[in-house]
Amino acid sequence: MSDFRVGYMYSLAPVHCGGEGDLGNILEIVRETHTNYPYIPGSSLRGTLRETVVNGDPDGKKIGDRLFGKELDPSGQMGVHQVWFGDARLLWVPMRTMSFTGAGDAFTWVSCHSLIRDHALLHRKKAPTFRRQPVGTRGGRYSVADARLEVVAMTPEEKAATELTGNWSTVLQGDVKTTWENNRLVLADSDFEVLMEHALWTQIRNKIQESGSAEVFWTDVCIPRDTIFYFPWGYKIAKQNPITSDDHSILLETLQGLFQVGGQANVGRGWVQGWVTNSTSPVLKAETVVVGE
């Protein structure tokens, strides 16, 4: 059997998944070819989840092999995977540099028409139609660097189209969810592309010389913390050596917990809080019948 599910991730630290085309000492991130937006490849997500499962249980190696397939052996053979993961795409990106109607800095999440549309299609819902003018949970004038945005309030239909599906992670259902519900904007794709220049997180690292002087060593580019991602995933149960309900429970605990994705884990990058919209087991629990004791 096979099924299709959706998961979310909320970044608690900057996320760096390295891409091609690094420029000198600038460590770039992987980007979608058609949009140039950063993303987390499904292979990276799958790899970190497998590692977390394998290292988190005494039988983790066997569980990992059943779920993700046996790793490549010297003969070039690999096992059959029974769980799959697609790419994790941006959905809501935080913008801390905004000012709102002259009231000072505002913490606002930003998305765009194509990201909201693709998220809806993944949930098999009708793709929403937004006005060309920026819309938000709060109307007014927003400022980002030299840009000025005149934002109109969302209609009930537009607001419903921007909602996440299912329940948020329990640990995010307090101030985080409340703040998100009251502070989000949807822009046209062209405007979002411009704003993305101000949204990515960068850090310059210095190399200290023996003389005590500092030299720029490299610059990190990361997806900022507080970004919300979504990703497709699901099961394809094998006929031989199928996964068990316990395997599903362990994977679910991992997916709905705190885990690390991407590189630079040694400096605290890539920590995310995950959750899923469908937690039901794809495996029918076998009833144990005890014959006369």
Report d(CA 266, CA 85) in Å as an integer.
25
- How many helices and strands (H and E) does the chain possess? 7, 15
Residue type, 146: D
pLDDT, position 201: 77
Instruction: Kindly tell me if the per-residue pLDDT of 230 is higher than 50.
Output: yes
Choose the most confident range, by mean pLDDT, from 63-77, 134-148, 167-181.
167-181
What tokens does 286 get? 């076998």
C-alpha of 170 from chain center: 17
Residue type, 282: P
pLDDT tens per residue across span 103-114: 666 788 999 999
Report d(CA 184, CA 269) in Å as an integer.
25
For 158, residues 6+ apart whose C-beta sits below 8 A from its C-beta are 128, 130, 131, 135, 186
C-alpha of 233 from chain center: 12
What number of CA atoms fall less than 13 Å from residue 70's CA on the CB side?
9
pLDDT, position 211: 63
What tokens does 113 get? 């028409």
- pTM, two decimals, is 0.87
pLDDT, position 123: 86
Q: Give CA separation, 234 vs 41, 86, 109, 134, 274, in Å.
A: 16, 9, 28, 34, 15
pLDDT, position 101: 72
pLDDT tens per residue across span 4-52: 999 999 999 999 887 655 455 667 788 898 888 999 999 999 999 999 9
Residue position matching structure tokens 């969302």:
154
pLDDT tens per residue across span 204-222: 766 666 665 555 566 778 8
The boundaries of every CATH 3.30.70 domain in the chain are 1-16+42-86+223-284
Fold of 1-16+42-86+223-284: Alpha-Beta Plaits (3.30.70)
